[in-house]
Structure 1
């Protein structure tokens, strides 16, 4: 199954209307993972992390750069960056970069 199909399965999307934005999130997540881990290729476990980051980004679409929001007595706080468990999973694959 392709990464796009996996992401659509997780998000329970069956049509193609969101394919463009999902592909963009997958591409950006892959670039982030490659850069963060200092690797040139994605292993199967890194591909799973890319999919998870793309899903996370899609679900947070529209609330970028918002720390919190209050409406009356209700308040919500949002993550400013990826959750720590994502970084923990990425750090297992991270390689040193010599300059």
Structure 2
């Protein structure tokens, strides 16, 4: 067990690992702020200008707010999917490379 702890400490000190963690955290923060911005804009419009979202689509019963709310949810799913895809394609490859380099399982 001590051997794994030494390897883990070496990986953590590796500059490539540090760059990967920094880039991944920055990417996650950027996407998180994007989702929060989308939600807060929608809630802000609903709170301070509800008449905008209350407009009906033509002569239908459906208001503009309903498809926009669905779009907010779909965008949050897409942003989550983007995070998963980029993480799997880029960051996980770096982790796998470091594991091979340090012969860590």
Q: TM-score range by the shorter chain?
A: 0.3 to 0.5
Structure (1/2) with the larger strand percentage: 1
Going by fraction, where is helix more abundant, 1 or 2? 2
Tell which structure's C-alpha radius of gyration is larger. Answer: 2
